[in-house]
Amino acid sequence: MELPFRYILTVSELTQEIKATLEVKFFDLWVEGEISNLRVPPSGHIYFTLKDESSQIRAVLFKMQSRTLRFVPEDGLHVICRGRVTLYEKRGDYQLILEGMEPKGIGALQLAFLQLKEKLEKEGFFETSRKKQIPILPQTIGIVTSPTGAAIQDMIQIIHRRFENVAILLHPVRVQGEGASREIAEGIRRFNRMKNADVIIIGRGGGSLEDLWAFNEEEVARAIYHSGIPVISAVGHETDYTISDFVADLRAPTPSAAAELVVKDKRELKRNLHHLKGVLENQMTQYLQEMKTNLFHLKKGLIDPRKMIEDYLLRLDDLVNQSRRLLLWNVTRRKEKRLFLAERLNLQSPFQRIRNMETSLSDARKWLGQNMRHKIQIRKQNLKGILGKLDSLSPLSILQRGYSITRKLPSLKILRDAAEVLVGDKVEVKLHRGTLSCSVEEKERS
């Protein structure tokens, strides 16, 4: 059985067929969607995913095309893109190669304006504290604008009418179109390098947002911010606002208004000066009159210098006498204190203490001798009394009066009762003088 003929494609051939079909059918189209997964590698190309509620497609905006964008793409931004569909053969993914892109619902310029305004505001470009004071009467005014526009003519006419002596330096620039912002920024920097202006006015007449766009560029904003000379921004009409208006030290609604703000009217200044002169003269007259009155009162109260000298001399004599008395009193006090200290020192001297102790010892010795003699005398008298009593109680005294002591032999027991001996016992009789040995021959009890 013969097999039917089959046409077999390789993956590459199929991919090329699909790519050719897509590029032919979708070679130029508009697509809207929301940006997500945005990334910008060092190459400068912009890669992101364009999506809606149910689908998504890869998209790329190459560096050359991205330079034409007036705004900065970011995730979440709803955009309308113009480009073509192609297929990346290596991955088999189809994607959009974009030629241009703009935000939906708001113009690209307006979005770029808002993005740059938000960026510079975060960096502090609009802080009131950094804004410089505009000179009251500048001698030289630098103007950065077109030399052929009506704005420069109006400003020159108004400035010369108000104060014809003010010098005007014009730095001619383009105020719209490619390269205009670079020229404006360079004009501001040149005045700062030359230091030949007291104030700078940048501006132009009215126009569309695109016409005024040079004054919304970041380069101009940074030149104004870094300017050491005060800058007045006068761009468009009163209802027009640019980035330079927010950064500048002063915003003027129009170039003509800037000319009126930058210098005062000479006639008005003269009137003010004349008025101030009169006020100053009146104040000086009043001040001098007050000083004259004060001087008169001071003169009346002024004392004759000779009288003042005499008073000072008398006062000086009093002070000298007082000082002398005080000095003598101090000397006397110091002498008394020195004597007192010498006496205390002498008392604290070891030799004096030894002498004092010797004196005290001698006095103690005398007192002790007298006391001992007195004590001995009292003891002697007491002893005599005791001896007298003892003598009166002594057996010897009793014996002297004729009594005797009888003791039984051989025990020598003193006999007090006749019953204590028997007839024939030996006894000893103690007399006042001598002793008798006797034998009991008879006894009798009373």
The answer to whether residue 338 is domain-embedded is no
Q: Mark residue 82 as left, alpha or beta (left: phi above 0; alpha: psi -120 to 50; beta: remaining).
A: beta
Q: Give residue 131's Cα distance to chain centre.
A: 28
Q: CB–CB of 75/7 below 8 Å?
A: no
> Of 227, 242, 264, which residue constitutes the final position of a domain?
264
Chain CA centroid to CA 356, Å:
71
| 3 state SS of 95 | strand
* DSSP state, residue 236: S
Among 212, 240, 264, the domain boundary falls at 264
The residue type at 195: K
Same domain, 169 and 252: yes
Q: Is residue 175 situated within a structural domain? A: yes
Which 8-state DSSP code applies to residue 81?
Answer: E
Tell whether 237 and 121 lie within a shared domain: yes
**In terms of domains, do 191 and 86 share one?**
no
Q: Which of 234, 224, 225, 172 is nearest to 203 (CA)?
A: 234
The pLDDT averaged over each successive group of 10 residues in the chain (446 residues) is: 67 82 82 88 90 88 84 82 86 86 72 83 90 91 92 91 90 91 94 94 86 89 94 88 91 91 82 85 90 82 73 82 88 87 75 78 87 88 82 70 81 82 85 85 77
Residues 163 and 135: their CA atoms lie apart, in Å, by: 14
Tell me: do 101 and 142 sit in the same domain.
Answer: no
Task: Quick: pLDDT tens for 64-79.
Answer: 888 878 778 888 788 8
Q: 176 in helix, strand or coil?
A: coil
User: What domain range includes position 82?
Assistant: 11-105
Q: Is residue 244 part of a domain?
A: yes
DSSP for residue 300: H
Alpha-carbon gap, residue 293 to 284, rounded angstroms? 14
pLDDT of residue 264: 84
Q: Which residue has the tokens 């505009």?
A: 134
Does one domain contain both 140 and 256? Answer: yes
Are residues 175 and 195 part of one domain?
yes
85 domain-assigned: yes
What CATH number is attached to the domain comprising 57? Answer: 2.40.50.140
| Residue 151's CATH number | 3.40.50.2300
Distance CA 252, CA 237 (A): 9
Q: Which residues pair with 439 in a beta bridge?
A: 426
Alpha carbon distance 134, 264 (integer Å): 12
In a domain, 444, yes or no: no
Check whether residue 78 and residue 26 sit in a common domain. yes
State pLDDT tens for residues 237-291.
888 888 899 999 999 999 999 999 998 877 877 788 888 888 898 899 899 988 8
> Are 171 and 77 found together in one domain?
no
- List Cα–Cα distances, 154 to 148, 194, 254, 267, 357, in angstroms: 11, 25, 10, 20, 122
| Domain match, 15 and 79 both | yes
Structural domain contains residue 326: no
Domain shared by 186 and 250, yes or no: yes
What's the total number of domains in the chain?
Answer: 3
- Based on the domain organization, do 100 and 120 belong to the same domain? no
Identify whether residues 121 and 258 lie together within a single domain.
yes
pLDDT at 108: 66
Pick from 140, 168, 142: nearest CA to 156: 168
